[in-house]
Structure 1
Amino acid sequence: MAEKHVVVITGANRGIGLELARHYARSGCNVIGVCREASAELKDVAAKVVEGVDVTQDAGLQAMIAALANQRVDLLINNAGLLQDEQLGSIDLDSIRKQMEINAYAPLRVAEALIANIPSGGKIANITSRMGSIADNDSGGRYGYRASKAALNAFAKSLAIDLKLKGIAVALLHPGFVKTRMVNFGGLITPEESAKGLAARIEELNLENTGSFWHQNGELLSW
Structure 2
Amino acid sequence: MSHWLIAGASRGIGLEAARQLSARGERVTASARSAAGVAALKAAAPEATTLQFDVRNEAEIEAAAAQVSDPVDALIVNAGAYGPQRQSSTDMDFEGALDLLSVNTLGPLRVVQAFLPVIKRSARPRIVMMSSILGSMSLEGTFNVAYRVSKAGLNKIAQCLAADLKSEGVIVVAMHPGWVRTDMGGADATLDVRDSVAGIIRVAESLTLADTRRYLDYRGQDIPW
TM-score (norm 1): 0.92
> What is the CA–CA distance in structure 2 between the aligned matches of 1:91 and 1:73, rounded to whole Å?
39
1:182 is matched with which residue: 161, 184, 195?
Answer: 184
User: What residue number does 1:117 align with?
Assistant: 118
TM-score (norm 2): 0.91
Q: Displacement of 1:221 after TM fit?
A: 0.2
> What is the CA–CA distance in structure 2 between the aligned matches of 1:111 and 1:120, rounded to whole Å?
17
Q: Secondary structure at the match of 2:184?
A: helix
Change (3 A) 1:27 1:166: farther
TM-superposition CA deviations, 1:72-126 (whole Å, max 9, x none): 2111110001112412332111121111111110111111111110124111111
Gaps of 5+ in 2: none
Q: Displacement of 1:40 after TM fit?
A: 4.2
Identity of aligned residues (%): 33
User: What residue number does 1:206 align with?
Assistant: 208
1:195 is matched with which residue: 178, 194, 197?
Answer: 197
User: What residue number does 2:25 align with?
Assistant: 28
Q: Displacement of 1:39 after TM fit?
A: 4.7
Q: Secondary structure at the match of 1:199?
A: helix
Q: Displacement of 1:184 after TM fit?
A: 3.1
User: What residue number does 1:172 align with?
Assistant: 174
Number of matched pairs = 217
User: What residue number does 1:65 align with?
Assistant: 65
For the 8 Å contact 1:180–1:186, the answer to whether it is kept is no
User: What residue number does 1:216 align with?
Assistant: 218
> What is the CA–CA distance in structure 1 between the aligned matches of 2:38 and 2:25, rounded to whole Å?
21
> What is the CA–CA distance in structure 2 between the aligned matches of 1:186 and 1:59, rounded to whole Å?
38
**Paired amino acid for 1:16:** I
Q: Displacement of 1:189 after TM fit?
A: 0.7
> What is the CA–CA distance in structure 1 between the aligned matches of 2:179 and 2:48, rounded to whole Å?
29
Change (3 A) 1:162 1:17: same
Q: Secondary structure at the match of 1:182?
A: coil
Gaps of 5+ in 1: none
> What is the CA–CA distance in structure 2 between the aligned matches of 1:112 and 1:58, rounded to whole Å?
10
> What is the CA–CA distance in structure 2 between the aligned matches of 1:39 and 1:63, rounded to whole Å?
16
Bigger drift between 90-99 and 169-178 goes to 90-99
> What is the CA–CA distance in structure 2 between the aligned matches of 1:172 and 1:165, rounded to whole Å?
18
Structure 1 stretches of 4+ moved >4 Å: none
